[in-house]
Amino acid sequence: MESITDPNMSDGFTSAMEEIHNEYLKTCGEIIDRTTEPCQSHREFVKCAVDTCLKKCKDDEMLFETIETFKRDLVQTSASLKVKRHAVSEMISEIEHKDMQKEDIIQKIETLKEEQSKRKELILSQHKTNKDRLKYLKKARGVFQDHLAMEIRTISGKTQVVKGEKLQFIFRNINPSDLNSAYIVTLGLNQDGSYQIVSSDPVLVCLPVLESQLQKTNKLPTFLASVRKEFIFQARR
């Protein structure tokens, strides 16, 4: 107990405690000195990492915005391509339709050419037939005049006979009271070469029947003989 109350002991203790405290402070200072540089480096590293992360986030945001823009552009491009494909498809269909129309027109033209060629051949054939028929009629004129007292006249025109001029067959020696009295039947030639009765003077009621028979048989002498008989029958009633 006395040692505790001894002033020298108290001073020594105080001195020892101060020395220990100073050692502790020195040790803490050394520790602080040793840890300051790593902490500073760590803070700088953390700051750099945070800055890098922030920059990466901004870059990612810009990238996402660019991707979204590309997506919108892609949607618009796809829609535009769809419209263009539809327009191209319609254009191709129209071209194919026009090609079909062209082929159809070409076929029609070829058909018309063939028909025109056939009509030309037919006209030439009918022309020859009509010329031969008129030649026959002219040759037979003398026979008809001598045996049937009949005269054949051509009603003149600006066109050729084969194009529609008419023939008049004039019968005499029909009426016993007036042998010189004329009985006339007029015939025309159609484009197809068939006969057509234009008129008769006097009028014969049975003329349509005789015309039908003539067109069926194409025998002109028989027709003229029948007409003469009808004129005689009508004149002597």
The yes-or-no verdict on residue 169 having pLDDT over 80 is: yes
Please tell me the distance from the alpha carbon of residue 190 to that of residue 187, in angstroms, as a whole number: 10
What integer pLDDT is reported at residue 4 of this predicted model? 53
The CATH number, out of the four listed (3.30.457.50, 1.10.1200.10, 3.10.620.30, 1.10.20.10), of the domain defined by the range 129-235: 3.30.457.50
What integer pLDDT is reported at residue 185 of this predicted model? 92
Please tell me the distance from the alpha carbon of residue 56 to that of residue 155, in angstroms, as a whole number: 114
The yes-or-no verdict on residue 218 having pLDDT over 80 is: yes
The yes-or-no verdict on residue 106 having pLDDT over 50 is: yes
SS3 at position 224? helix
CA dist list (Å): 148 to 139, 151, 152, 174, 196 = 15, 9, 11, 10, 22
Residue 130 near residue 195 (C-beta atoms within 8 A): no
**Amino acid (1-letter code) at residue 235:** A
**Amino acid (1-letter code) at residue 223:** F
Residue 215 backbone class (left: φ over 0; alpha: ψ -120 to 50; beta: rest): alpha
- Mean of per-residue pLDDT scores for the chain: 80
Give residue-wise pLDDT tens across range 172-201. Answer: 888 888 888 899 999 887 777 778 888 899
Identify the band that residue 208 occupies on the pLDDT scale cut at 50, 70 and 90.
Answer: very high
Identify the band that residue 160 occupies on the pLDDT scale cut at 50, 70 and 90.
Answer: very low
Which among 120, 166, 173 is positioned nearest to 150, based on CA atoms? 173
CA dist list (Å): 62 to 52, 55, 75, 194 = 15, 10, 20, 96
Mean pLDDT, residues 97-118 taken together: 86
pTM greater than 0.75: no
The ranges assigned to domains in the chain are: 129-235
Give residue-wise pLDDT tens across range 34-66. Answer: 777 777 777 788 888 888 888 888 888 888 888
